[in-house]
Chain A
Amino acid sequence: MFNSSLKELTAALAARKISSVELTGLFLDRVEKRNGDLNAFITVDRERSLMQARAADSLIASGKAQPLTGIPVAHKDIFCAQGWLTTCGSKMLSNFVSPYDAHVISRFNDAGAVILGKTNMDEFAMGSSNETSFYGPVKNPWDRTRVPGGSSGGSAAAVAARMAPVATATDTGGSIRQPAALTGLTGLKPTYGLVSRYGMIAFASSLDQGGVLSRSAEDAAAVLNVMAGFDARDSTSIERPAEDYARDLDAPLAGLRIGVVKEHFGDGLAAGVGAAVQAALEQFRKLGATLIDISTPNSGLAVPAYYVIAPAEASSNLSRFDGVRYGYRAPEYRDLADLYSKTRAQGFGAEVKRRILIGAYVLSHGYYDAYYLKAQKIRRLIANDFAQAFTQCDVVVGPTSPTVAFPLGAKASDPVQMYLNDIYTIPANLAGLPGMSVPCGFADDGNGGSLPVGLHMVGNYFAEAKMLNVAHQYQRATDWHLRKPEGI
């Protein structure tokens, strides 16, 4: 049951081989058993979940089941869910029980899915290792001494350890795709604007996008069908006709043009990771795809530009956390100014504070043009690079992350090294393009073991169905996505 696809689980529920209450209970038991070790969940609430499962069972009984009805889904703790503690991995929201549902949560609720729990994450989604969480680091199910990636490390660990069939996540610079790569999962960050940001606690508003961590492209398509959709409450939500993201899964890849960015195979890429990606490219050739060398000359500037734009937006987005209307308030303060500065000094962790300071600085008087405006221009250049690339190819492919999962603590004291983890994933966020990571093998972990490697794919705007097709065909030809951590 724990290794079943969503299609299989849905069929089992429909055939009454299992009820949603039973299925949810099984996964909750599993979370209970494994969470102490992996720390993937911040909140589980058995009663609340089972209540939803019972409602799902009656829907199924009355023949009103939709896809995902009765399926337990783990949600990144960045999505506000009414009545659920919603912490965003921060002490600042350690007492915040959301009074409302995010659009994404409403979509799952409307589909009759069950909230299995809220998953751990880097504080306010700022991190690439899940070590910045107020609730402690998440461990990688493949190697508990290593990070699962971040910021959606809890969702990744939960799905990789089969504690949840599927999980939601968000991606601002790689926070879905990098953990997917490091835990052997399929991760999809859709086109900016496809999934509503309403109720998704903002990190960098122009880059944040909700998506999926799943065990296969097929599962991801089923989940995206529920998650995506226009929301009038998000001014950046895109109004377009609903589509079935699974529609092209079975299309053959003959004639597919795959762009390979030569800049992505240079310095800094671990040899084993490079080899796994090359092997995947060979596999695509066998499937009938054509490989085309392309160049994205400005992608090297993506990380610097990102570390201006994202902190700038974050510094402003996080100003609302002031101890006045909700969340943490410092226990002692002299006056109003002291209330603010103590609440924020105590409520935010080191990485969040660091990014707020960077953001405040790059927007401040006299620096705006040199930093913020410059970064926005580079952002345009990067988007233009992709536009150029997509005149030559259908998808752009390369490694998701330069290395396999690294040991806990290895980069925690060196922010710049940590930031460079997202060198391959950030450009898609800057351009607003959909990105995906698919398991494509294993590489040496430098310590005698081997760990999962992710293949990164960027598609054109709204090319999700195409990307899922490419990933699904690859997964039909390979079994990397079926591998699971030892002891799971």
Chain B
Amino acid sequence: MTGQMKNWEVVIGLETHAQLSTSSKIFSGASTAFGAAPNSHASAVDLALPGVLPVANRAAVDKAIRFGLAVNGNVADNINRRSVFARKNYFYPDLPKGYQISQLDLPIVKGGSITIITSSGEKTVRLTRAHLEEDAGKSLHEDFHGMSGIDLNRAGTPLLEIVSEPDMCSSEEAVAYAKALHGLVRWIDICDGNMQEGSFRCDANVSVRRPGDPLGTRREIKNLNSFRFLQQAIDYEVRWQIETLEDGGRIQQATVLFDPDTGETRSMRSKEDAHDYRYFPDPDLLPLCVGEDWIGAASKQLAEVGTPGMRKELYVAQFGLTDYDAALLTQSRETAAYFDVVVGAVGAASVKLCANWVTGELAGALNRAGLDIAQSPLPAARLAALVTRVVDGTLSSKLAKEVFEAAWNGEGEPDAIIEKRGLKQISDGGEIEKLVDDVLAGNAKQVEDYRAGKDKAFNSLVGQVMKASRGKANPAQVNEILKKKLGG
């Protein structure tokens, strides 16, 4: 954070669109499969042919309920038993009806929260609401004789729009929130989370203010479909807003797009019109009523599937892990599953070590490579084999890192690497004693210094022994034997 920014507070709220992973669309029986030939999944209803009508998909509602329970500790007081589909009216070629079916006054989910972790610790981000709506189609801007092409395959795909309170105050927190949400929706199996395909995308509402001032005017950055873009876009937007205000300018409420090529945000021309969406309850769709039996079943199902939060609590209670470590290990279902395999193989007695390897070395390597844990070149069983060798004393932590590197690079099983590279730690007392004897014989001066009370000389001798062993001698044993010989 620059010095200039110190005098400003940043306020961020996120609106996230998660595509619900149903087979058919929210209001039609057309397939939601991604990547089909243009308009081959656009049914009469999706095309808004004259006379067609929407019929709502039970699975989309079920997933929305599951989400609501998951962000509220599996307590159903944030599920509206009666919610209402409304029409949001505007003209756009990817919106065939000229209105989007959404929810306004009575969304299916109200409230709840998401816990995030950042470098400064844990934080709770409150959710305002989550509502069901349909996705729009896509405008393709390749040149069709100066025209755009409209593909309505995506039109009608179910979305859960998850709206947070403006509880975040940095791009780091916004990204942590988005990641936590991403992990959650995938964990509870309501969204595939595929950001490249647009299954999970964020709009960020950003404003800045002087501490103590009322909220500043916000600008909304639309359609951020990667965590990196989310961070870059917010960082740029915050800098831009602060500079604008410090130059005496004013912020106008606007909808902006982030351009990944320039790293800048710009106003959307199509949104310049002041919008008046003329929302009203959709007369084609009666109130959506959710009974207690349905909620009970959804709650039971959620208890089986679990949530990152539930798993985190388990890790803390069962393994005595810190909140921070447990939170890191439950960022995604895959991370937790990976960790479970490692702990299962290494043993619960070494759970801390396992956690450190997963959240430290492995997470760092994945991050550098830009990979998800599911794409890790190092499967959990191999990391477990490596950690086992640390536990049984075969590897020093330094050597373990070398083995990790090799295993990451595809050199095979850790034991084979240890064997091949001769990295096994020397823990044989006789062998170490021989090395110590050689060093003592060749360093009479240091021995003398040590005996004269210079402690530093001891460290130097340890270093000499380790060097002689090419790093493989067990440091604890070296210490012990050296002390014995010098003292003797």
Do A and B touch directly, given a CB cutoff of 8 Å in the complex? yes
Interface residues of A (CB under 8 A from B): 79-80, 86, 88, 93, 96, 98-100, 102, 197-202, 204-206, 232-236, 312-313, 315-316, 318-322, 324-327, 336, 340, 360, 363-365, 368, 372
Task: State whether A198 and B51 are in contact (beta carbons under 8 Å apart), knowing that A235-B286, A360-B278 are contacts in the complex.
Answer: yes
* Cβ–Cβ contact A316 & B50, under 8 A: no
> Does B348 touch A at the CB level, under 8 Å?
no
What distance in Å separates the Cβ of A32 from its nearest Cβ neighbour in chain B? 28
* Cβ–Cβ contact B89 & A363, under 8 A: yes
> Does B297 touch A at the CB level, under 8 Å?
no
| Measured CA separation A39–B455 after assembly (Å) | 115
* Cβ–Cβ contact B51 & A325, under 8 A: no
- Chain A interface mostly helix, strand, loop or mixed? loop
* Cβ-closest chain B residue relative to A90: B50
* Cβ–Cβ contact B278 & A325, under 8 A: no
| Measured CA separation A318–B50 after assembly (Å) | 9
Residues of A within 8 A of B150 (CB): 324
Task: State whether A205 and B284 are in contact (beta carbons under 8 Å apart), knowing that A316-B89, A320-B96, A360-B278 are contacts in the complex.
Answer: yes
Shortest beta-carbon contacts, A-B, top 4? A319-B98, A206-B283, A363-B278, A205-B283
Of A93, A324, A372, which one neighbours B50 at CB under 8 angstroms?
A93
> Does B48 touch A at the CB level, under 8 Å?
yes
> Does B49 touch A at the CB level, under 8 Å?
yes
8 contacts between A and B (CB under 8 A): A98-B50, A99-B44, A198-B53, A206-B283, A235-B56, A321-B50, A326-B49, A368-B279
* Cβ–Cβ contact A316 & B91, under 8 A: no
* Cβ–Cβ contact A324 & B93, under 8 A: yes
Task: Mark each residue of chain B from 50 to 75: 1 if its CB lies under 8 Å from any CB of chain A, else 0.
Answer: 11111110000000000000000000
| Measured CA separation A17–B285 after assembly (Å) | 48
What distance in Å separates the Cβ of B100 from its nearest Cβ neighbour in chain A? 11
Task: State whether A236 and B98 are in contact (beta carbons under 8 Å apart), knowing that A80-B51, A99-B49, A316-B89 are contacts in the complex.
Answer: no
Interface residues of B in 234-262 (CB under 8 A from A): none
| Measured CA separation A204–B284 after assembly (Å) | 10
Interface residues of B in 434-467 (CB under 8 A from A): none
Task: State whether A320 and B97 are in contact (beta carbons under 8 Å apart), knowing that A88-B50, A99-B44, A100-B44 are contacts in the complex.
Answer: yes
| Measured CA separation A318–B98 after assembly (Å) | 8
Residues of B within 8 A of A99 (CB): 44, 49
* Cβ-closest chain B residue relative to A102: B51
Most chain A CB within a 10 A radius of its CB, from B47, B48, B53:
B53
Total A-B residue pairs with C-beta atoms closer than 8 Å?
100
| Measured CA separation A233–B284 after assembly (Å) | 11
* Cβ–Cβ contact A202 & B93, under 8 A: no
Residues of A within 8 A of B143 (CB): none
What distance in Å separates the Cβ of A380 from its nearest Cβ neighbour in chain B? 14
* Cβ–Cβ contact B278 & A364, under 8 A: yes
* Cβ–Cβ contact B87 & A316, under 8 A: yes
> Does B8 touch A at the CB level, under 8 Å?
no
Of B49, B93, B284, which one neighbours A236 at CB under 8 angstroms?
B284
Apart from A99-B44, A319-B91, A364-B276, list 8 A-B contacts with CB within 8 A. Answer: A316-B87, A318-B98, A319-B99, A322-B91, A322-B98, A324-B96, A326-B47, A365-B276
| Measured CA separation A439–B130 after assembly (Å) | 54
What distance in Å separates the Cβ of B276 from its nearest Cβ neighbour in chain A? 5
* Cβ-closest chain A residue relative to B92: A336
- Count of chain B residues near A, Cβ 8 A: 28
Residues of B within 8 A of A200 (CB): 51
| Measured CA separation A21–B285 after assembly (Å) | 42
Residues of B within 8 A of A320 (CB): 48, 50, 96-98
* Cβ–Cβ contact A316 & B98, under 8 A: yes
> Does B280 touch A at the CB level, under 8 Å?
yes
Of B53, B93, B97, B278, which one neighbours A197 at CB under 8 angstroms?
B53
* Cβ–Cβ contact A316 & B285, under 8 A: no
Task: State whether A235 and B98 are in contact (beta carbons under 8 Å apart), knowing that A322-B91, A325-B48, A363-B280 are contacts in the complex.
Answer: no
Residues of A within 8 A of B91 (CB): 319, 322, 340
* Cβ-closest chain B residue relative to A231: B53
Most chain A CB within a 10 A radius of its CB, from B55, B279, B280, B285:
B280
* Cβ–Cβ contact A233 & B55, under 8 A: yes
Task: State whether A372 and B280 are in contact (beta carbons under 8 Å apart), knowing that A235-B286, A319-B97 are contacts in the complex.
Answer: yes
What distance in Å separates the Cβ of B459 from its nearest Cβ neighbour in chain A? 76
* Cβ–Cβ contact B96 & A325, under 8 A: yes
| Measured CA separation A326–B93 after assembly (Å) | 13
Residues of B within 8 A of A88 (CB): 50
* Cβ-closest chain B residue relative to A326: B49
* Cβ–Cβ contact B89 & A202, under 8 A: no
* Cβ–Cβ contact B99 & A235, under 8 A: no
Residues of A within 8 A of B87 (CB): 316
Residues of A within 8 A of B276 (CB): 364-365
* Cβ-closest chain B residue relative to A318: B98
Residues of B within 8 A of A201 (CB): 50-51
| Measured CA separation A38–B98 after assembly (Å) | 36
What distance in Å separates the Cβ of B46 from its nearest Cβ neighbour in chain A? 10
Residues of A within 8 A of B93 (CB): 322, 324, 336
* Cβ–Cβ contact B51 & A202, under 8 A: yes
